[in-house]
Structure 1
């Protein structure tokens, strides 16, 4: 392997001086040695030029992927300490890999992303997936501009879409990432969220989705009770409701409509996760607060009458998302009422206005919206409130 590393340095130098000759046959033999024998790349003393040259060879990708996984299994530090050997060689560490990927002109980022994808698809060991994710996160902390190369947000999104609930653990890595993501979107108004911001919202939705199966509980609490995120969402809903009939023009084809849909999705998954995240604590009746309220929620949430406004004035897709939110809300209220036996105290005038919106959509062209509204009406009538015969 010393010879192989030396050869990598020799070939890497040909980038500088094209007069250096090499033997394709000798190179073929060396690659064969590498792929057919056990070797320990993570502990190698290797020149940076040699390291880069190896990662520029597409035919080495499979072997290097295996070595990166071996590195991730072994690496327990944050990679902040560079272990130098002489003037120009070093032991492979996180800093060396980060510098390699940041420099571009090699397959380092591609190999790392493919490795993570393969682990997820093959339902690899949980610790292996976490170790590779930690490596990627550490690399981005060292060189933030690398995030585009690693497609980290897309990778995490796809991972959460396909991973089994039981394989997720609620460790500190998730909390650190969530805080970073929330800060990236909550520092700007929702109406100027870009594609990356919406991708972050999608990831938060998936985390909340998994929490409904009693995993990622602490991570979900961080999302639900984020004051900056709550404030941003409240402002977005307030602005949407003020549009009145003009809201119908804001659908998935417009920036504002797309953002509103993502906000409604985040609210929906929050409603689904509140029960397992805060078992027995949530009083679902607070969502029926009348329109003259003076205080907003301290957690992610949309009042019943705001959802009704969005259903009444919104575009077809906004109506759909809002109707699912309202159905989830009414289901939780009914479950609480049946469990505790408490009578629902709510102004008749308020509930009649809600029912008027629901009745207006019972025969809506989208059968999903119509069904959701019909189910909501059935639950209201099942509450058997006075003066609501």
Structure 2
């Protein structure tokens, strides 16, 4: 079977497809991945021998640019057009298309699947993008939830309107150019009736309801056997477990201040720091600070006292599986949701807001450091077979 995996977004949108691709290849499938043209994505896919088809502009550069919310419809239209430009050739001869990532690019990818006649599956990496009376939707830039409205069904009606306003014109313009009929409801077109949810049921429990037949596979993670750098091994061995600080693909425009605040908070608890540069380029020197670029989180997190991060689904899941307490400093999108889940499960602390102060982060870190027993208790319940389960299901249907 030939499978096309399509995404557009940050590392957290690409890495799960690396895991799924590996499991599909183990089962004899021919796999290729469409993703943003960033070098780190290309390297990651090359490392597992998966053909890579670059689509659209650099996700890193787009994130760093942080254009105003008013330009979102135009940006969405351009990203959708990029899907139509690149995916038809990539989908040639494929039996199934798996689409995930940003909502407008998923709509574009699914439209290409429709255009070329390929069976398609939509996958979400957090339940809050799937409509349900049991939880509220995310709010989009420039379109906050109406004040005073708390009924989830009404909020999902607002979500439908927002998606149609923001992404409908661009989607339908590209569809018309390729002879496809207009889509009246963007969310319904993308989500359909049987979406997949690639998250862990303990961390992100889906509550069934009549509106959707959700297939929850577990999170898609690939066992990482890469050794830690020699210098990092020496740093870890030279003292007590440090605090890991990293914000992944978040730009963190006040990066220098964030690094200083995080290190000050760790020092307040007598802890050293492993600082990940990430897309924000975090960097600070000191005998008690070790700075890393790409590193094996699965190997590193169990050897740390706590993990301070932005709240991406992948980092949250990896930290939970390692049994390491977390402090989530959410920057946007689904990250406040993951922060809340960490706090609700007793796995650490949810920082209030995206910009920590030394005082606020010191307090949050103190809470997390006291959560080790609970984090260790939950760790064995987090599934490790999500990608394998998804590959088996995909190839059997």
Q: Confirm or deny a common fold (TM above 0.5).
A: no
Structure with bigger gyration radius? 1
Q: Which has the higher strand share?
A: 2
Higher helix share: 1
Q: Which has the higher contact order (CA 8 A, sep 6+)?
A: 2
